[in-house]
Structure formats: structure tokens, C-alpha cells
Amino acid sequence: MRVYNFSPGPSALPLPVLERAAAEMTDANGSGQSVMEMSHRSGDFKAIIEKTEALLRELMEIPPNYRVLFLQGGASLQFSMVPLNLAAVEPGESKRTAAYIETGIWAKKAAEEGAKYVEPVIRAGSADKKYTYIPEAPPPDPGDAYYHITLNNTIVGTRWPSLPPAGFPAVPLVADISSSILSEPLDVSRFGILYAGAQKNLGPAGTTVVIIREDLIGHAHPRTPALLRYDIHAGEGSLYNTPPCYGIYITGLVLEWLRELGGVRTMAKLNREKAELLYSWLDRSRLFYSPVEKPFRSLMNIPFLSRVADGEKRKALEEEFVKKAAAAGLVNLAGHRLVGGMRASVYNAMPIEGVAALIRFMEDFERSRA
């Protein structure tokens, strides 16, 4: 029996995609072989990666002066690749400054990793209220190498309702969009670099997508390792070394599924309906609540907490909730280990029926505590 999977990642994949992949497991596109055993230098795989890139360009309306790279290492490796490629200095020179907006745990980790290569300046942050809002972001300083934001904060459940003020492209705007890519329209031309781990809205874990403006390619320090240089990957069409072939193939199937549904604008409407349904119920609940300030609530990741005041009783209730929900076919609802509580990740592949089933379970659970 298929369950409703609310995991923050690796997350649920669309059932039609899984069924097609299963049907093509031993014979992909009439090649007589699985993509998992296909040479990445072959014409068969070239057709797959080119089609996947074309679909992504179409769905995201990526301008022609941007390159699309399919890499490995997850979004976390981009915490290093971005400064290594955008903020190179000569030996003996001081590190360049780079602006970071600290809106959550992953945004903080990006700045901490970047500190190995740049002087990170936290231009604004929301740690003062446990990251439950998006702070007002100042314009970039002209000397900054780049300006980094995390567009959707998976752990704490916030999203940027609008982008930072003008000041780009003189200072490239860089964004981690791992948990929001393709969930709603995004003006790619506002950014210098967009990057995303695939395991939330695109495909299986192991594939990372980087969308980079061409003028930002080719500035890495000469001592930057080859596998961490955007220019090398761009020059080889993401085939400098063996890429995550099967992940790219599944990503292509997900993109086909999304296009058949009507594209990103149709998906954005569905995502708003799902999120509004769950937030509306939480705002009426006597037992649960959303800790996030309303203007900044994520469409993708919806944490919620128990109103029980006593710490031990609250923890016991939340553990009971997660356990009974799983028994009812609603899995992976535990909050992140650093913040606790519960969290429902309702990415593109989550149907509205899954959200409705979760609400029915929550209603029953709440009645049992009345």
C-alpha cells in the first residue's frame, strides 16, 4: 500500500514517474539497457541529459545567457563552490566580503562554510525569533563578492515573500532553492546563481542542479579543484566525470510530469491550495499551531507544534502523534531533530488528497484529547 510521504527529503516522487521508471528499468528508450548501466558518453544518455536540460529551461523560463549544470554533492557542496568560483583572491590578499542573510539553519551553515574562503557578513537575520520570519534585507554593498539567500527554509518553514531590493547584477544574487524549485514561478534573470539538491522537488538524492549566468563562469582561483570549478563542468556539458546518470533521468521524468500537469503556474496554484488548507486548520486547532509568522509561511514545509505547555508531556504527545500517524499511512511527520515538533513537507508530488487525509487524522487525534 502506498503511504502519504511527508518527508522533507528525500521526498515523495510522483507515482506516474515511479511507474514509468519501473517499466523502463531494464530497457530505457528502446536501448535494451537500464540508465543505471548506460555509458554517460553514449548517444543514448546524451539524449536523456539534453532533454532534461531542455525541459528545465522551458519550465523555469531560463534565459539563454545562463548555463544549466547537473552536478553531485548536494546543495551543501555549493556552500563551498559558490565562494571558490566567485570570490577568488591572489595569495596574500585579504578575503573578499560576501553578504549572507541568515534565515535558518541551512542559511547559517552556508555562511559558516563560506567563511573558509570569504569574509561572510550577515547583513540581516532572524535568529532572534528562532527563524520564524524573514528579516528586511538591505541592499548589497558594492564590494561584496555575492549576496546569498536561502529562498525557502526547509527546517523552520519560512519563505521569502519577495526578493531583496535592487542592486544586482553588479553583486550577484545567489540562492539556495532546494526546497522550492519549480513550486512557483521564479524570475531567473534576477539571480547570478541558483542551486538546488534534487531530492525535494526534482528527483532522487544525488543530483544537484546549478543555474549560473555565463559571465560568472571562469573566475575560480587556479588552485580550485577541477571538480569544484563551474567552468570545467560547463565546458564539458556536465560530463567532465561520470554524472549522477539515473538521477538526471528521473529528474527528466519529473519535469515531463510537471509539464503535462500544466507547468509551474498550475503547480503554484495547487501548492497554494494545499498550504492554505493545512494552515487554515492549524489556525483553528486547539491542540496544534504553526510557529511561523503568517506573511513568511512556506508553501513547501509546514512545521507545527503542540500547545501543551509541559515539556515532557508535549514531547510524549508529539511522539505519539508521529507514531499513530505512521500507522495510519501518514509517514515522516517528525520535525527536524534540532527543533522538534512535527513537520509536513508538501512538495509538488504530494497530492491535495494527502493533505486532506492528514487533516482528518489531526482532527481525530485532537478529539481524542478533548
Which residues are known catalytic residues? Answer: 106, 176, 200
Query: C-alpha distances in angstroms, 36 versus 119, 220, 244?
Result: 41, 32, 9
Q: What is the C-alpha separation between 36 and 291, in angstroms, rounded? A: 43
Q: What is the C-alpha separation between 168 and 172, in angstroms, rounded? A: 6
CB 98 within 8 A of CB 121: yes
CB 330 within 8 A of CB 6: yes
In the chain, the N- to C-terminal Cα span, in Å, equals: 31
Amino acid of residue 32? G
Give yes or no for a cis peptide into 8 (omega within 30° of 0): no
CB atoms closer than 10 angstroms to residue 4: 23
Would strands 208-213 and 158-159 be described as parallel, antiparallel, or unpaired? unpaired
Q: What is the C-alpha separation between 255 and 51, in angstroms, rounded? A: 10
Mind giving me the DSSP string for 27-53?
Answer: -GGGSSS-GGGS-TTSHHHHHHHHHHH
The string over 227-258, giving b where at least 16 C-beta atoms fall within 10 Å of a residue's C-beta and e elsewhere, is ebbbbbbbeebbbbeebbbbbbbbbbbbbbbb
Three-state secondary structure string covering 257-292: HHHHHCCHHHHHHHHHHHHHHHHHHHHHCCCEECCC
Residues 6+ apart with CB under 8 A from 77: 71, 208, 228
CB atoms closer than 10 angstroms to residue 78: 27
Q: What is the C-alpha separation between 176 and 79, in angstroms, rounded? A: 9
Q: What is the C-alpha separation between 191 and 171, in angstroms, rounded? A: 10
Short-list 117, 100, 118, CA closest to 109: 100
